[in-house]
Amino acid sequence: MSERVGEKQATATATARAANAATADKSPPLPEATQRQPALETRHAVLRYTTLRLALFLAALVVVWGIAVVFHMDLGSQLSRLTLLAVSLLLSSAASFIVLSKQRDAMSAGIVARTQRLGRKFDDAASFEDEE
């Protein structure tokens, strides 16, 4: 029985070395800190984009509310407040599409990199299970 276990370990080790050799030809291994960096950047990019979207919405809300006050519009009814929020949402969405394109691209690039990295981890785990 111990011979079978030893054979399986030797086969797994040989397969892992072959996989590492094939990967080494494609690109040099990255330091572990560099491999973790995109996940950190992704979180910051998502946080940055979300915060800026919220700030744009609040700025649009203040501007629309200010216009309503200047023109003496009735803000007492619930429908007028809802309309105020809807107009602010539309304005901030249009503004964020134009103004935040760089932050949106950085966020999506980080998310794509993370999903590719997770996909590789799942593929590696599946191939390791298939070898057993």
Same domain, 23 and 69: no
Residue 5's pLDDT is what? 41
Domain range for 11: 1-30
Who has greater pLDDT, 20 or 77?
77
- Given a contact cutoff of 8 angstroms between Cβ atoms, the answer to whether 84 and 65 are in contact is yes
62 and 97 part of one domain: yes
CA atoms of 114 and 100, how far apart (whole Å): 21
Whether residues 11 and 75 share a domain: the answer is no
Q: What Å distances lie between residue 100 and 8, 45, 88, 97, 113, CA to CA?
A: 53, 11, 17, 6, 20
Residue 3 above 60 pLDDT?
A: no
pLDDT tens digit string along 49-90? 999 999 999 999 999 999 999 999 888 899 999 999 999 999
Q: What is the DSSP letter of 72?
A: T
* Residue 66 Cα to chain centre, angstroms: 35
Query: Per-residue pLDDT for 114 more than 80?
Result: yes
Residue 46 and residue 64 in one domain:
yes
Regarding whether 65 and 25 lie in a shared domain, the answer is no
Q: Give the total number of structural domains in the chain.
A: 2
Same domain, 81 and 96: yes
Q: Are residues 38 and 15 in the same domain?
A: no
